Amino acid sequence: MPVRTVMAVDEPATAGSQEDQNMRAGSVVAIYLAEAEGAATFAVDEIKAVAGAGIEGDRTFRPAGGQPPQDQITLIEQEAIEALTRETGIELAPGEHRRNVVTVGVPLNDLVGQEFQVGPVRLLGIELREPCKYLENLTGRPGLIRGLIHRGGLGAQILTGGTVRVGDPVTR
């Protein structure tokens, strides 16, 4: 029937179109590092991700390798940070969440067990990064754990290294 043909032409060519569209719309909006455990984070425009070692200049970087996969790079959704403020009144200063990469338009929870790309860097989502008492104590914000539960970010393994920049796309 002609109607079906027209509808098929208008539909996206890939299966799982809503998830794929979300990934195409995703991008990096901020990047943070901390030089030591517990040290303040600072914003940078780009980072060098090294497979098996982490991010150069970050507190968890292990140049000889041996970095646990879930600790090589961490990501958090800007939408989760905004929801935290909207729902609890807790406002985090930029980088206070202690994740390396802030994304927008990317459902990070869906990436556990999935390979994806941030700019030229290939990652594997390893585990959700649930908020912890350490973060709540460090920030001095009671209720932070409850406010970020199941949306505290994603720990990922760096499969292929490269430079990630603010503005880079996040894709599958």
Residues 156 and 63: their CA atoms lie apart, in Å, by 17
Calculate ∠ Cα 30-153-19, nearest 5°: 90
- Burial call 144-164: b when 16+ CB within 10 Å, e when fewer: beebbeebbbbbbbbbebbeb
**Structure confidence at residue 21 (pLDDT):** 44
Q: One-letter amino acid identity for 88?
A: T
Q: Taking a C-beta distance cutoff of 8 angstroms, is the pair 141, 107 a contact?
A: no
**Domains of the chain in sequence order:** 26-171 (2.40.33.20)
**Structure confidence at residue 35 (pLDDT):** 95
CA distances from 162 to 7, 34, 116 (A): 40, 19, 14
What is the pTM (predicted TM-score) of this model?
A: 0.84
> How high is the mean pLDDT in each 10-residue block of the chain (172 residues)?
32 42 74 94 97 95 84 96 95 93 97 97 96 84 90 96 98 92
**Structure confidence at residue 24 (pLDDT):** 55
